[in-house]
């Protein structure tokens, strides 16, 4: 098993939010497994100094849940309940979507709870970094990384490999540093928040709070 997981990247997501709708559970025939797809809403609140007031943004995460955790966490779950999810990013073949596969799920009583939206990942820079200056004179670097991570498939009960490409937004001094020093092929380790593009694709986007650049070995 250690050989299977050699040279893989980090890809972990933790979310705490509210169920948008009651889960719809279906069952696979071979093997017999429960499957559900849920949408979880997480909320981010911040103080906008420009207008001197608090603002709130809601992200909607599509999450696939397979196996025993469906019966344990989702069978009696209702719309509005608080749900804790841990899992990883995947490219879903259904409608060519970027979603989350849950490896842990736990439900709590309906109500408001401060959201948790955390992602930790690593990957290889796959394109030159774009640096822009926003209208508020902040620097933003848009980074594209290739992520190759492995996980145990609940349907096949063996390790499977997932190849992903995700965009990362890095702000401020970190953005300038990456633009000056990073090259295609370098490794980037990121801790941040999972968000989504505003176009029709709703592609996953990572807002980095911390990023670490690891240079590729010189040949």
The pLDDT of 66-85, averaged and rounded, is 95
Ordered by start, the domain boundaries in the chain are 11-214
Interval 26-67: pLDDT, tens: 998 888 899 999 999 999 887 777 777 888 889 999 999 999
* 83, 108 Cβ separation under 8 angstroms: yes
Half-sphere exposure of 66 (CA within 13 A, CB side): 15
Cα separation, 100 vs 77, whole angstroms: 19
The pLDDT of 67-83, averaged and rounded, is 94
Interval 116-147: pLDDT, tens: 999 999 999 999 999 998 877 789 999 999 99
Cα separation, 130 vs 180, whole angstroms: 11
Cα separation, 110 vs 97, whole angstroms: 28
* 186, 177 Cβ separation under 8 angstroms: no
The class that CATH gives domain 11-214 is mainly beta
The pLDDT of 157-172, averaged and rounded, is 92
Cα separation, 192 vs 207, whole angstroms: 5
């Amino acid at each position: 098993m250690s050989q299977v997981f050699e040279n893989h990247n980090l890809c972990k997501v933790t979310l705490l939010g509210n169920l948008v709708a009651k889960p719809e559970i279906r069952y696979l025939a071979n093997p017999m497994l429960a499957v559900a797809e849920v949408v979880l809403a997480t909320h981010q609140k911040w103080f906008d100094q420009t207008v001197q007031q608090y603002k709130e943004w809601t992200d909607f995460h599509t999450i696939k849940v397979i196996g025993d955790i469906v019966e344990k966490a989702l069978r009696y779950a209702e719309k509005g309940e608080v749900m804790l999810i841990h899992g990883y990013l995947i490219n879903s073949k259904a409608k060519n979507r970027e979603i989350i596969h849950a490896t842990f799920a736990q439900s709590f009583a309906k109500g408001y709870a401060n959201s948790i939206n955390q992602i930790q990942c690593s990957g290889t820079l796959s394109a030159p970094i774009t640096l822009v200056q926003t209208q508020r004179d902040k620097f933003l670097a848009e980074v594209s990384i290739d992520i190759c991570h492995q996980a145990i498939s609940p349907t096949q009960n063996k390790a499977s490999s997932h190849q992903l490409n995700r965009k990362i937004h890095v702000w401020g001094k970190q953005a300038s540093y990456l633009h000056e020093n990073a090259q295609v092929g370098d490794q980037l380790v990121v801790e941040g928040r999972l968000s989504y593009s505003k176009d029709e694709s709703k592609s996953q986007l990572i807002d980095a709070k911390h990023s670490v650049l690891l240079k590729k070995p010189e040949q």
